[in-house]
A and B are shown apart, each in its own frame.
Chain A
């Protein structure tokens, strides 16, 4: 059951974070009424201008013009009669642009946070080691790479020992490799510190890799909330098109076929174990649960079960939705047991195979289409 709720939950239910705010500026209007239980990484997904950053800024107290209430762990941060300043909210914020203090070294930036957090319960060396910035401590912050800056910004935010960490697209300025490392770091932070994180991004893969719960924003409103797989596999037509939504699922390591360079994966539900899925060989223990995604471009669709094919993954399913992506492109959603797979194909193929809602099909994909971490 989802730990997120929008409006439908009775007011009496206490959640860790409750946000009921309205904010208008220029032609934009933010209108949110949501309650969170802070027990993991909550992703906030939306395109540019959907209000993701504004929502974070309101929670942080950086936008005083917002009207409404913000309650964090039964502490009213904002209401019609009171407003707690950002410096007293015990909320950390990692900005898109790191915002390190240029007149201080890396160590100086960390010390700045440490000094203002009384008492200190976190071991600074552990944070430095975890964020891998030990070698940077004496460096001038303006000479750091984008990835290094974000690591320092994250370490600095952690050393302030917040009750909640807000992250506003912290990976958007990083290259792919730095991005991968940072995703690993953020998951590590969550596991080791058990710190709730609200993570904003317009990158659906980042959200898929990091978030346990997801809320989707559009035009200043929250339009969808729920578990990451449930939300990402059921984005509305417009959002699916915009985000080229991948199929999101959790799989379990069944066995390693070392001679073939493959790892066999199972769906989580035992009733689905007759289906065999193969991914590239990975260094993961048997039984390990993995968050995986498959890009819509990596899947193909067939009316008959291919008996002799080099494509080793094949799943039977039924078409549940067809969306037109572009003049010639189509996005097809196929229901495989309780999982929804998104497949990009052409209008020509849809016409040729006479695909429509309810058609029984087989979806195929190569082993390396399954991306796990």
Chain B
């Protein structure tokens, strides 16, 4: 493999992780909000479904997605008829898989933040004539900013490290589904250890830096809260 293939894999990885994070923030925020507000017993089932990717082997999720994406299944056939290409072994396919696989990493921190925020501040906003969208953007968002950054970073980092689901439903198509973790696996299989070392080190350092930034942010946020709460 040439180094341009590795750059392409890096580009695919960042594109996948970036789009996954964006979609998860758009879908996960209302889902987390809903889950933070409902009192019904169905909340626990919803929480269990969202948390499922945390414990489910990626190959299991990948296998079922592969079955659903297949042109012989109704959703797969509908997609093929509508777009002209199959979801299996496509970038869109691995994007859908990544969104499902990284869902809890975005939804859970947001749900926790919304629950901690409570209704008090929102009620105060309502009594000052702020409608629900206004309250979300002017009160909830700024007051849970740190949790949004944490959720986005965790969603991004987890997608970068994804392997099993991508391998099952995406295969190894350069420029389409070949992400860094797949490229690394490829190099190890081909006994090309020097490139594998480079890729592994890049992923390791990248993940470390990202996690350190998240923890630094949380540390600063908590210290800031503690400082602000001192009499």
- A interface residue numbers (CB < 8 A to B): 60-62, 85-88, 90-93, 95, 97, 99-103, 112-113, 116-117, 140, 142-143, 156-157, 160
Contacts and interface: CB of A to CB of B under 8 A. Distances in A.
Contact of B129 (A88, A95, A103): A88
B120, B128, B131, B143, most chain A CB atoms within 10 A: B128
Contacts of A140: 228
B123 interface: yes
A99 B128 contact: no
B139 interface: yes
Q: Across chains A and B, which 9 residue pairs bring their CB atoms closest together, nearest first? A: A99-B124, A93-B127, A116-B129, A86-B126, A142-B228, A103-B142, A113-B128, A87-B126, A87-B129
12 contacts: A85-B131, A87-B128, A87-B130, A87-B131, A91-B127, A93-B123, A93-B124, A93-B127, A99-B120, A103-B143, A113-B129, A157-B128
B138 interface: yes
Contacts of A99: 120-121, 123-124
A160 B127 contact: yes
Contact of B124 (A95, A116, A143): A95
A95 B123 CA distance: 10
B229 interface: yes
B129 A62 contact: no
Contacts of B131: 85, 87
Interface of B: 120-121, 123-131, 134, 138-139, 142-143, 228-229
A102 B138 CA distance: 12
A86 B121 contact: no
A160 B142 contact: no
A99 B128 CA distance: 12
B142 to A, nearest CB: 5
B166 to A, nearest CB: 39
Contact of A157 (B127, B142, B143): B127
B127 to A, nearest CB: 4
A84 B126 CA distance: 12
A116 B137 CA distance: 14
Contacts of A60: 127
A246 to B, nearest CB: 32
A310 B127 CA distance: 54
Nearest to A118: B129
Contact of A97 (B120, B125, B127, B229): B120
Contact of B126 (A62, A100, A103): A62
Contacts of A116: 128-130, 134
A156 B120 contact: no
Contacts of A90: 129
A110 to B, nearest CB: 10
Contact of A101 (B121, B123, B126, B229): B121
Contacts of A61: 126
Nearest to A159: B128
Contacts of B142: 103
A112 B135 CA distance: 11
A117 B130 CA distance: 10
A102 B143 contact: yes
Given A62-B123, A99-B121, A143 B130 contact: no
A112 B128 contact: yes
A60 to B, nearest CB: 6
Nearest to B134: A116
Contacts of B120: 95, 97, 99
Contacts of B129: 87-88, 90, 113, 116-117, 160
Contacts of A101: 121, 124-125, 139, 143
B127 A92 contact: yes
Contact of A156 (B123, B128, B134): B128
Nearest to B129: A116
A117 to B, nearest CB: 6
A156 B121 CA distance: 14
A77 B122 CA distance: 20
Contacts of B143: 101-103
Contacts of A97: 120
Nearest to A112: B128
A103 B228 CA distance: 11
Contacts of B121: 99, 101
A116 B120 CA distance: 19
A143 B224 CA distance: 12
B146 to A, nearest CB: 11
Nearest to A61: B126
Contacts of A100: 124
Given A112-B138, A156-B128, A160-B128, 7 more contacts: A62-B123, A93-B124, A99-B120, A99-B123, A113-B129, A116-B129, A160-B129
A100 B138 CA distance: 13
Contacts of B128: 87, 112-113, 116, 156-157, 160
Contacts of A156: 128
Contacts of B139: 101, 103
A17 B131 CA distance: 24
A142 B229 contact: yes
